[in-house]
Chain A
């Protein structure tokens, strides 16, 4: 299984970034082969739609699960409809989070836990999921 972890860097020992859409990088870890791929998140600097862009990015990279701390309603809808599971990260490195996940130590996120455009008090609309 490929797991995408929102991160400050591109390596296994990089620190987890709590933000999903605005994380500068994602580290994609293949839990079977142990292969690690760090990818830049161009959406980190987007005006809007960063969460959707990040969901698209990691889906295209083949991730089936995400470890992150905070994601909003748009990103949530995109990941969920793509069948990508989300697990809530604690503090630490990418490697520590993946180990925790494999040991069953990370809780799955049941709903978006950040506001749309967190910081700007705006109300989102439900996307039209097809």
Chain B
């Protein structure tokens, strides 16, 4: 079995909640596929608020680039205090309180509406650094990771910056941040497929439902990996059957996996037999993506 070199999909690994095994799956899948076809893989850690894929993959990251957003700077001599900027801002990142003009750069989305509506052109947009993109390799795997500056609240500019590094000629795995809010949506959007990792518990199910709904709205096909299978109940299985969502893989509740992970080892490093299963899963996803592309091409 060899990895199909003509199809290079981008797969997001996401979950409605943290700690379900996203990074375990993302790193293990990257290593398994790379073992079959060295040099075919790219992994991008999109959890820029708490990146952790590098802990398991120990990449060499020689390249570093800043991520900058545009924020307003107000020329107070020109400003008439009309307040048009404050009314235009959807994030309350600029306020005109009596004679004071305040900008809150940590709230700013960098949309430029304030500068656009200013009737006297008192606002210039200046660059502000919000994070960093690092890139390099872990063995033959192309590795990209982003970090949001501590104290900054808007992760999506950094997520976009790491996603700009997606290479079409490689199979790309995007390790998504937990939850279903903007940073997760920014990661999943534009992917060919989304693998949702969940636990077979009521909590896992509830968060899975949110994640499935999010994928459907974004228009990205998804399948489920049940991690710690055998614990909890059959709620996730029943939900997936009922909704016609494919269960791609079941990773059993196994102390050896947990022990290996706690030592910073991936699933495939600890139990090499999982490599084959992950490659098989990839082939299946690749077929689903190809079928989807054909369907969209026809319609």
Contact = CB atoms under 8 A, between A and B. Distances in A.
B102 A48 contact: no
Contacts, number: 79
Given A82-B97, A124-B151, A130-B74, A77 B92 contact: no
A129 B100 contact: yes
Given A48-B153, A52-B107, A125-B105, A82 B92 contact: no
A96 to B, nearest CB: 27
A128 B102 CA distance: 6
Contacts of A60: 83
B101 interface: yes
Contacts of A122: 151, 153
Interface residues of B, number: 24
B150 interface: yes
Given A52-B107, A74-B107, A46 B92 contact: yes
A127 interface: yes
A52 B74 contact: no
Contacts of A9: none
A40 to B, nearest CB: 16
A24 interface: no
B293 interface: no
A83 interface: yes
A128 B103 contact: yes
B98 interface: yes
Contacts of B100: 78, 81-83, 129-130
Contacts of A124: 106, 151
B50 to A, nearest CB: 13
A84 interface: yes
B101 A130 contact: yes
Given A48-B91, A48-B153, A74 B101 contact: no
A50 interface: yes
Contacts of B31: none
Contacts of A89: none
Interface in A112-130: 117, 122-125, 127-130
Interface string A46-58: 1111111101100
B224 to A, nearest CB: 29
Nearest to B86: A56
Given A82-B97, A130-B76, A52 B104 contact: yes
A77 B214 CA distance: 37
Given A46-B92, A59-B97, A124-B151, A130 B107 contact: no
Given A56-B86, A128-B105, 13 more contacts: A48-B107, A49-B107, A52-B93, A59-B98, A77-B104, A78-B97, A81-B97, A81-B100, A82-B98, A122-B151, A125-B106, A129-B102, A130-B101
> Which 9 A-B pairs rank lowest in CB-CB distance, beginning with the nearest?
A49-B92, A82-B97, A81-B100, A52-B92, A53-B92, A59-B97, A82-B98, A49-B107, A125-B106
